[in-house]
Amino acid sequence: MQDPRRSVPRTDVVLDDPRLDLALERLSRAAVKAAVVAALERCRAGDLEPAAVVAAVLESLPPGPAGLRAVINATGVIVHTNLGRAPLSKAAQEAVLTAAGSTDVEFDLETGLRDRRGRGALAALARAVPDAEDVLVVNNGAAALSLVASALADRREIVVARGELVEIGDAFRIPDLLVASGAVLREVGTTNRVHLDDYAEAITDATALVLKVHPSNFVVQGFTASVPVEELAKLPVPVVVDIGSGLLSPQPKLPREPDAKSTLRAGAALVTASADKLLGGPQAGLVLGRSDLVQRMRRHPVARAMRVDKLRLAALEATLSGPTPPVVQALQSDPEVLLFRATAICREVADVVTAEPLRTSAVVGGGGAPDVALQSAAVALPAALAHPLRTGLPAVVGHVSDGRLILDLIAVDPARDATLTSCVRRAARV
């Protein structure tokens, strides 16, 4: 018998095989080489025929250089934190692509001189909220709060209601962040109730500001009381409000979610928020309000460590100035239209799988409004399809309930219904 090792091809010979040319355009040489080395190892061990090496390499290579895969969010959770929160609008995606190369992020092409970084995004934000004297954009909502603590409190006290010392998710606790950023917390009230007097009595020469945090992800019911911004604004220190979800003006579908415009009009000195929740933009932290306070935050040394990159500045500007982003479209979707779409998808897969259109109840998700149920519709399929759909390209993520896979359409772009349909047909055939 011939020694199998003698017929194992050399690494560079395999790498030169024209069938690997496309892979070498899409992936680094090192990545393809690693796959070749692994296949040759199997070949040496006698697990793989030399003639099958190239095919094995192609099969083992990832579809692209980045591991993140496109997902169709059929979970019925509009802002799904594990799926990257808000999906960007087409306009924002195109803006990201343009900004990805060299771009005039802090350069004035007219004069050829250095310019204010991200002026377009800042101007769009200022236009969207005329009640704000000045605006600032940082890395995320947590960064905005951290900068409030370091630049505005600076080892002095932040007065905050006990019931608003919240944990947002993934063990992220706002009080810990504020303390870590150098503020001293002065808690007032009880878990369920706080009054204006509690705040007033806590304010001393050591007080830097009052912070009001919107409890985005829970609701307290029963014997409760909190102090509205209008009342807090009577206190002799600035009131900073973390509205969380990033609504810039009221959203009729979510009457209990605070928005930047109303909060500033009610007397808040500053509002902080995330850009990738209900605003429907990229991850970013927004700061809006009194110009002296925004200036102090902008000039603080830590601000540089929270600077937002050109890709997100581009996406934010396009979200603010462009067409309605997907999150807002999803919020406004008509349940009858969703049911019509679900019925059409079921009809188109009926020859390969049992599918039933259903009325469902969807949620806003990580964006807030935990007590709001949104009328929606879904395609119900056998639960066995959950895994093949989740691991396909694009991946389709739904949820299993009562032994069935539910693909909720509220957060699915209608333009992707055809793709979703072919994903289901493909998954049903394996």
Ligand X SMILES: *Cc1c(COP(=O)(O)O)cnc(C)c1O
Contact residues toward ligand X (CB under 6 A) are 140-142, 168, 213-214, 216, 242, 244-245, 274, 285
Instruction: Report the residue number, 216 or 263, with the smaller CB distance to ligand X.
Output: 216
Instruction: Report the residue number, 277 or 404, with the smaller CB distance to ligand X.
Output: 277
Instruction: Report the residue number, 163 or 357, with the smaller CB distance to ligand X.
Output: 163
Distance of CA 403 to the CA centre of its chain: 30
Give CA–CA dist 107/115, Å, rounded. Answer: 5
CB of 172 to ligand X, least distance (A): 7
Instruction: Report the residue number, 297 or 412, with the smaller CB distance to ligand X.
Output: 297
CB of 398 to ligand X, least distance (A): 24
The residue to which tokens 């040496």 are assigned? 44
* Residues with Cβ within 8 Å of residue 73, at least 6 apart in sequence: 80, 83, 87, 397, 411, 412
List, in sequence order, every residue forming a beta bridge with 359; answer none if it has no partner.
377
Cβ atoms of 87 and 73 closer than 8 Å: yes
Give CA–CA dist 225/252, Å, rounded. Answer: 24
Q: How many CA atoms lie within 13 A of 214 on its CB side?
A: 25
Cβ atoms of 406 and 378 closer than 8 Å: yes
At residue 308, the 3 state secondary structure works out as: coil
CB of 310 to ligand X, least distance (A): 19
Cβ atoms of 357 and 72 closer than 8 Å: no
CB of 101 to ligand X, least distance (A): 27
CB of 269 to ligand X, least distance (A): 17
Give CA–CA dist 406/300, Å, rounded. Answer: 49
CB of 240 to ligand X, least distance (A): 12
DSSP notation for 344-359: HHHHHHTTTS--EEEE
